[in-house]
Structure 1
Amino acid sequence: MSTTFPHLLSPLRIGKVTLRNRIVSTGHDTVLPVDCQVSPALIAYHAARARGGVGLIVLQVSGVHETARYTSHALMATDDSCIPGYRALADAVHAQGSVLFAQLFHPGREIMETADGMQAVAYAPSTVPSERFHVMPRALNETEIAALIAAYATAAQRIRAAGIDGVEIVASHGYLPAQFLNPRVNLRTDAYGGDFAGRLRFLREVVVAIRTAVDEHCVVGLRISLDERDCEGLQEDEALQACVALQDQLDYVSLVAGTSASLGGAVHIAPPMAFPAAYLATPAGRFRQALSIPLLLAGRINQPQEAEQLLARGVVDACGMTRALICDPELPNKLYAQHSESIRACIACNQSCIDRFHRGLPISCIQNPLSGRELQFGALTPTTKPRRVMVVGGGPAGMQAAVIAAQRGHQVTLYEAGAQLGGQVLLAQQLPGRAEFGGLITNLHYALREAGVEVVLRQRVDRAVVQQQAPDVLILACGATPAAPRLEVGGSMPVHDSWEVLQGVSVGARVVVSDWRADWVGPGLAIRLAETGHQVTLAVNAPLMGQALPMYVRDQLAAQLHQLQVTILPYARLYGVDDRTVYLQHTASEEAMVCEDIDGVVLCQPPQPDDRLRQQLEGLVLEVHAIGDCQTPRTAEEAIYEATRLAWGL
């Protein structure tokens, strides 16, 4: 056992099963099921994490009743046709030494979508709407409640019949059991409402029904938000009271935070990098003191040292490290081998995990495109024909291409014109709350060294250099350069590009940030300027600020901008400037929008591809590939994916 992580790598007994370590992949949607059943891609995804050494995998939610289809791609455990898929998944996970639980789920009023695009009929304890999804539910009658309780039990029977080790009742994030517990949502006056005992009755009867339906070796746990972080949500004392009341009937409790019912509460479902690491440790400690059964915790526990500290302090018994395992499925094995420095650390960007779910796309990772694509990529095999590969550009695309090509056995040299590798990430990490984004480059630096890539800095590559080096393959990852918009300029108003501001150019006291991109650059700069005393107007060329961002990132930024009193103008196209006035145009009405008494403008414009080297190479007989922003500017996700796909096949 590692002496560095003795607690994290120690076994843990939960009910009648023993986990080989205390690292948990908690339940999370993947959009990998097909026809609401386990698919080969889902099996491959979880098998990769089991093979990587994780102690416990908790499967994504399984609907217990037809009214529980909260998305069109949820797993459903409503009839026996689900059993073979669950069995195949259990066999794959068990073959690699991990334990597998499945989540039992009903969303209540938190319905996101339906398969045919129609608005669903949602059910809840009372007719209290969901603010986030703008859903008004029907109040369940007692006959319907009895049917749902029975459905939890039969779903648990099917899951157990498939050989899965346990079930986890989802009472987190404002879903149906939490709606019954919450006195602001449960307004019933019958036996399932009123005082605490009445509001607890539904969840208690669900637990009893499941216990009756499964054998004694089946683990039964509860996932609950320790605080829904919303004034109308379940509060910490209420959640704790429920856990204490039920602990004699449960094998463990799994803690998270937040609620699906509000924008502010939902941010905690997958908290972005602006939140501190392990930020739920203090409230979790209250639960630890009150409970005698194993306690799991998830919420920004991305690094093994954070998990080890929580366990050493006795705050919890196991740590949910879900996004860390999406980013690096081999994390546990690397700890066993005492190679923690080689772990590809999650940066909590949310760009390719939870954001893809919200767009109805299968899960992946900005740093690890293999996640969710295990069947597409397969195993990386050594090349039988090593070649000399020249990579031009040291941003994420170039670094990743160099790493994968070298891992395949090619002789790789990476050229970067600047003094350090990183590309635009070096700018991105300077924005407030984005420092962790730089971890992407830290991870790639390590991978370059391990792969044996030769790195040449301060070398601008032109046609002559390419001809001199005569590579077998040339990969262009030259990135992008700022592009100036067409503006009507009638005075001396200072106009600066966002890159210039991040590099230290000063601006006046009253600033307009013109945000064409609608991503994190505009709001990040607005926050940075507002925090240093500037009066800021964020003029967004989109219907809303952060339209291109993962919603939890956007909503967290919206909260900061509001707190800093930044004025936000949506539908705003920059038209021109004079000495003290910024002229904008409403993109829908085309009417004028004017900002007066302004000292300067900051441009967040789309960059343009750096195509200079490709143009110089016209007529040169050479295998050339272009990836990332020099194809067309997008995000680091596309850059790293394209680099991986290209180098995988070289």
Structure 2
Amino acid sequence: MGGPAGLEAARVAATKGHEVTLFEKQNYLGGQLNIASVPPRKIEIRRSIEDLTQACIQAGVQIQQGREADTDSILSLSPDTVIVATGANSFMPPIVGIDDSGVCDAWKVLAGEQKVTGRVVIIGGGIVGCETAEYLAEQGCQVAIVEMSEEVGAGIGITVLPSVLETYRRYGVTQHPGLKVTRIEPNHFQEAQEQEAQKSQQSSHEINIVCKDQQSNIVPFVADFAVIASGARPQIFDSSDLLAQGIEVIEVGDCVKVADISHAIKTAYDAANSI
């Protein structure tokens, strides 16, 4: 719960004089701000993590990193109020073949947990997909963005969009709106090509990303990797046992509604001020 919403709620509550304990299952704080700071022009976001963390420390928040909050650990503190800020998880759509080894998650790619090279198709042309495309293009990947709606980059600010498009032009990132991915399937090289690839230590595994346009025409892509950037879904926290004990529970940030950082901060600020 140590993302922007959790940190802000903890800061405000502690500043008001409450005794506050913040749980974070990872060994670092910041939540999604860590991956948000990876794409081009976003490094300054790391200052938000540092500022929020220092503000919590100065306010006297007890921070427990590397410890996931569960019912037992929360009840052991005998709290009056629990603010839930579990954030969101990246969404993996029900596409046939999405479990192929060549299919990766944009969040994990930005976090450095998954490595992609060569020809990459980004499935999802929202903000995360577009920023992942920029990041991978600068890493030397040949990138194509496939988006189901008629617009790639919807939601990108008008002051930022020109820079994004310039990056695409410079690195040859192609955009393909109006396409729905129907399946992903392996496309192994012929035996002779596999043997040659093994000798040169290159990947011998290709994938076909099969799409349909709005007229149901098949539009195929061949790639080394597909990266899923299809949005996020709230991370649900079961608070039923806490409520049964008469403990006030308030949910904030993306675990209520997936939105932007300002929404996370505002809902956390309001929640902490309400107790």
What secondary structure, in the 3-state scheme, does the structure 2 residue paired with 1:402 have?
A: helix
The answer to whether residue 106 in structure 2 is matched with residue 498 in structure 1 is yes
1:561 to 1:624, Cα distance in 2 relative to 1, 3 A: same
Map of 2:196 onto structure 1: none
The answer to whether residue 163 in structure 2 is matched with residue 556 in structure 1 is yes
CA positional deviation for 1:493: 6.0
CA positional deviation for 1:562: 1.6
Q: Distance in 2 between matches of 1:565 and 1:484?
A: 27
CA positional deviation for 1:423: 0.2
Is the Cα–Cα contact under 8 Å of residues 34 and 111 in structure 2 kept in the other structure? Answer: no
Larger radius of gyration: 1
Q: Deviations over 1:310-358 (max 9, x none)?
A: xxxxxxxxxxxxxxxxxxxxxxxxxxxxxxxxxxxxxxxxxxxxxxxxx
CA positional deviation for 1:492: 4.8
Map of 1:241 onto structure 2: none
Is the Cα–Cα contact under 8 Å of residues 242 and 249 in structure 2 kept in the other structure? Answer: no
Q: Distance in 2 between matches of 1:618 and 1:486?
A: 34
1:590 to 1:627, Cα distance in 2 relative to 1, 3 A: farther
The answer to whether residue 233 in structure 2 is matched with residue 626 in structure 1 is no
Q: Gaps (5+ residues) in structure 1?
A: 1-392
Map of 2:45 onto structure 1: 437
TM (normalized to structure 2)? 0.85
Q: Distance in 2 between matches of 1:645 and 1:491?
A: 40
More strand by share: 2
2:78 corresponds to which letter in structure 1? A
Map of 1:452 onto structure 2: 60
Map of 2:118 onto structure 1: 509
Is the Cα–Cα contact under 8 Å of residues 493 and 601 in structure 1 kept in the other structure? Answer: no
Equivalent residue in structure 2 for 1:569, among 176, 192, 205? 176
Q: Deviations over 1:176-210 (max 9, x none)?
A: xxxxxxxxxxxxxxxxxxxxxxxxxxxxxxxxxxx
Question: Larger relative CO (CA 8 A, sep 6+): 1 or 2?
Answer: 2
Is the Cα–Cα contact under 8 Å of residues 75 and 242 in structure 2 kept in the other structure? Answer: no
CA positional deviation for 1:557: 0.8
Map of 1:636 onto structure 2: 261
Map of 1:584 onto structure 2: 211
1:455 corresponds to which letter in structure 2? I
Q: Distance in 2 between matches of 1:590 and 1:413?
A: 55
CA positional deviation for 1:571: 2.3
Map of 2:191 onto structure 1: none
CA positional deviation for 1:527: 1.6
Q: Deviations over 1:26-69 (max 9, x none)?
A: xxxxxxxxxxxxxxxxxxxxxxxxxxxxxxxxxxxxxxxxxxxx
1:496 to 1:476, Cα distance in 2 relative to 1, 3 A: same
Q: Distance in 1 between matches of 2:212 and 2:101?
A: 18
- 1:596-611 equivalences in 2 (<5 Å): 596-611=221-236
Map of 1:482 onto structure 2: 90
Percent identical among aligned pairs is 29
CA positional deviation for 1:460: 0.9
1:492 to 1:483, Cα distance in 2 relative to 1, 3 A: closer
Map of 1:471 onto structure 2: 79
CA positional deviation for 1:489: 2.0
Compute the RMSD of aligned alpha carbons.
Answer: 2.0
CA positional deviation for 1:455: 1.1
Q: Gaps (5+ residues) in structure 2?
A: 187-206
What secondary structure, in the 3-state scheme, does the structure 1 residue paired with 2:160 have?
A: helix
Equivalent residue in structure 1 for 2:2, among 387, 394, 407? 394
1:542 to 1:558, Cα distance in 2 relative to 1, 3 A: farther
Q: Distance in 2 between matches of 1:593 and 1:558?
A: 27
Q: Distance in 1 between matches of 2:182 and 2:46?
A: 34
Q: Distance in 1 between matches of 2:162 and 2:72?
A: 49
Q: Distance in 2 between matches of 1:496 and 1:550?
A: 26
